A and B are shown apart, each in its own frame.
Chain A
Amino acid sequence: MFRKTLPVFFLVLTLWSSCKKEETPDHNHDPISTSGTAAIHVENVVGTEALQLGVMQYKNASADSFQVDLLKYYISNFEWIRDDGTSYKSLNYQLINASNVSSLDFQLDQIPNGTYTGLKFYLGVDSLSNHTLTNSAALDASSGMIWNWNTGYIFFKHEGKYVDSTGVHQPLLFHFGTDRALAEVTLPLNNLVFNSNSRNVVLKLDLAPLYGSPNAIDFNIWHNNQSLTTQEFPWLDAMKQNFSSSFSVSIP
């Protein structure tokens, strides 16, 4: 009898002590960290200059002067690529807003320790999230980045002015989105090593190539654009291609 109850007695004791342990967590038993964090900082530039909002001081490849009053865009689904072709996906959506400095810094954590040679992400929102507005956080539908009569996100918004061929200031508006517009961006990393640490990563969007390379976007033709009709496909496709050459990454 006693021999039989003894193990059970110990079992009960262990259970009791294990539930006590939760009240005072034992830090000595934390697992050794095997991953790092990327602290990403986004810079919006035009050529060599940092973007300034509300000033008519930039030129696109077609030599149209333009200004930016509002610049907002989604970057999403970052993927860290290793030399051997394997990768780690940081699922995340970030809404960049040039007029809100806090939107320019964000962290991606749990990146497994190792050496990375590439960074892939998307300008836009994947089709899974793009067809419902019940998303939250960066994708909250109240952030002014949706089309409300045709369920979907505006991936990229530039509103401002340009000077037309007769010298007159005209409104400029690019609302870029829909599944067709989702633009993949892949950038080389010069052997970025994560070793249970935090690394700074600077991501730059340059509006000069965005409107110029490889496809020139002439504001005299394209200046009031919502990418929701077939007539908009030429600039949509052109700009989608330009996005891949408009981002760059550097490790300070």
Chain B
Amino acid sequence: MSIQVTFTLRLLGFIGVFLMLFQGCAKDEQIVSTQISGPTPYTLVIPPGLPAMVIPANNPMTVEGVALGKKLFFDPILSGDNSISCGTCHLQQFGFTDSLRQFSTGIDQIAGNRNSMPIMNLGWERNFFWDGGASNLESQVIGPIENPIEMHETLSNAIAELNAHPEYPQLFEKAFGSSTIITSNLIKAIAQFERTLISGNSRYDKHAQHALSLTDQEIRGMNVFTDFDKGDCAHCHVLGSTFTDHEFRNNGLDVVSEDLGRGRITLNPSDNGKFKTPGLRNIAVTGPYMHDGRFATLEQVIEHYNNGIQPHPNLDPRLAEMPAGRMSAQDVEDIIAFLHTLTDTEFLTNPAFQKP
């Protein structure tokens, strides 16, 4: 016993001496490492109704990265004439879509041919744009910057402007450890901010968590939404979570698709006229609807599903077999009441998502 104690004591003594010496020789390194101490990890708070988010290994979320991404998102420096920012076409009160315009207008006042998309819950998406042409959230960022009908800026100009800016080099240094701004860090920062735009606290969610009860009409609407013989909306806009199956589908808008949608990307004719199934959270405020913004109201959207399905060659088989007029006027009113329960006021007004 006593032998063990002395041994332990001696061992501790040796460890102490050893540590001192080790510290002595590592001192310089320690000072350096406190100086370049990396950015602070950012903890994403995921609401109960949504799954864990997979963050790409090459772009871990940090407090500094998210803050920088937010600043960039609202900064017109990324547009050709420094007149518009991402935030110009993606407004918080409209679920980060364009206000009420069918087609977003870029810096040259030319309207595009697609309706602005909501930026929310994108951390769970796999492809971006209506046709999924951008294969990750980081790569997506470059699209609007360079698009001649959007921000119409060359990336190299944008990078040069950022490098010459009085604040940005320092902010990139803090977020990514280098004050020389390169494209990959620009797009990583914006993607980090976008991943924080999470909506999961609507009345529907509170109902699902038994924190409140929806009205009878809203419950009836939810039933029509999931009813195989009526709405069957949940077939594609899965009930709960992100309200999408993350697939590309043709929902019968046209007999002939002018915009090839997914087919433009995969070059597979069976993908022509297919578009990304949009999530339906905050849908009451993200109009107009569909990739080309053809419907101004939710009434028109439901009328389309109830009576307007067109026989496109790639029409989703489920929609093809559903008879017209299957939803009554009451069903339509109920389903719209239900869709309004997906509005998340906290998300639409959260100051953390506003221009810094």
- Residue A89, interface by CB 8 Å: no
> Within the complex, which residue of A5, A16, A19, A134 is in contact with B138, where a contact is CB–CB below 8 Å?
A134
A–B pairs, 19, beta carbons within 8 Å = A4-B10, A12-B14, A12-B18, A19-B21, A19-B22, A20-B25, A131-B135, A132-B135, A132-B139, A133-B184, A134-B188, A140-B184, A141-B184, A141-B187, A142-B158, A144-B156, A149-B143, A151-B134, A230-B267
- Residue B17, interface by CB 8 Å: yes
A55 to chain B minimum Cβ distance, whole angstroms, is: 26
Residue of A with least CB distance to B155: A142
What's the Cα separation between A134 and B134 when bound, in Å? 12
- Residue A166, interface by CB 8 Å: no
Contact with B along A100-142 (1 / 0, CB 8 A): 0000000000000000000000000000000111111000111
Known: A148-B147, A150-B133. A15 touches B265 (CB 8 A): no
> Within the complex, which residue of B133, B154, B187, B265 is in contact with A133, where a contact is CB–CB below 8 Å?
B187
What's the Cα separation between A27 and B341 when bound, in Å? 72
Contact A148 B25 (CB under 8 A): no
Contact partners of A146 in chain B: CB under 8 A: 142
- Residue A229, interface by CB 8 Å: yes
Contact with A along B112-153 (1 / 0, CB 8 A): 000000000000000001000111101110110111000000
- Residue A8, interface by CB 8 Å: yes
- Chain B interface SS verdict (over half): helix
What's the Cα separation between A5 and B156 when bound, in Å? 64
What's the Cα separation between A149 and B128 when bound, in Å? 10
Given contacts A148-B147, A229-B264, 4 further A-B contacts (CB under 8 A): A16-B25, A134-B136, A141-B183, A148-B146
Contact with A along B248-275 (1 / 0, CB 8 A): 0000000000000000110100000000
What's the Cα separation between A136 and B138 when bound, in Å? 13
Contact A15 B21 (CB under 8 A): yes
Known: A15-B18, A148-B147, A149-B147. A132 touches B136 (CB 8 A): yes
Residue of B with least CB distance to A131: B135
Residue of A with least CB distance to B188: A134
Contact partners of A143 in chain B: CB under 8 A: 156
What's the Cα separation between A97 and B158 when bound, in Å? 21
Contact partners of B183 in chain A: CB under 8 A: 133, 136, 140-142
Q: How large is the interface on A (under 10, 10 to 19, 20 to 34, 35 or more residues)?
A: 20 to 34
B351 to chain A minimum Cβ distance, whole angstroms, is: 30
Residue of B with least CB distance to A141: B183
Contact partners of B217 in chain A: CB under 8 A: none
Contact A12 B21 (CB under 8 A): yes
- Residue B310, interface by CB 8 Å: no
Contact partners of A229 in chain B: CB under 8 A: 264, 267
B118 to chain A minimum Cβ distance, whole angstroms, is: 19
What's the Cα separation between A150 and B138 when bound, in Å? 13
> Within the complex, which residue of B22, B145, B187, B265 is in contact with A150, where a contact is CB–CB below 8 Å?
B265
For the complex of A and B, 7 pairs with smallest distance between CB atoms = A19-B25, A142-B155, A133-B139, A151-B135, A142-B156, A150-B133, A151-B139
Contact partners of A151 in chain B: CB under 8 A: 133-136, 139-140
- Residue B301, interface by CB 8 Å: no
Known: A132-B139, A230-B267. A15 touches B22 (CB 8 A): yes
What's the Cα separation between A148 and B151 when bound, in Å? 13
What's the Cα separation between A148 and B136 when bound, in Å? 12
Residue of B with least CB distance to A135: B184
Contact partners of B142 in chain A: CB under 8 A: 133, 141, 146, 148
Residue of B with least CB distance to A133: B139
Q: Which of A134, A140, A146, A228 has the most CB of B within 10 A?
A: A134
Contact A12 B17 (CB under 8 A): yes
Residue of B with least CB distance to A140: B183
Contact with B along A26-38 (1 / 0, CB 8 A): 0000000000000
Contact partners of B182 in chain A: CB under 8 A: 136, 140, 142
What's the Cα separation between A140 and B54 when bound, in Å? 24
What's the Cα separation between A50 and B36 when bound, in Å? 49
What's the Cα separation between A128 and B67 when bound, in Å? 30
Contact A134 B159 (CB under 8 A): no
Contact A136 B184 (CB under 8 A): yes
Residue of A with least CB distance to B14: A8
Contact partners of B156 in chain A: CB under 8 A: 142-144
What's the Cα separation between A133 and B58 when bound, in Å? 12
Contact with A along B175-207 (1 / 0, CB 8 A): 000000011100110000000000000000000
> Within the complex, which residue of A4, A8, A19, A148 is in contact with B143, where a contact is CB–CB below 8 Å?
A148
A126 to chain B minimum Cβ distance, whole angstroms, is: 15
Contact with B along A204-244 (1 / 0, CB 8 A): 00000000000000000000000011100000000000000
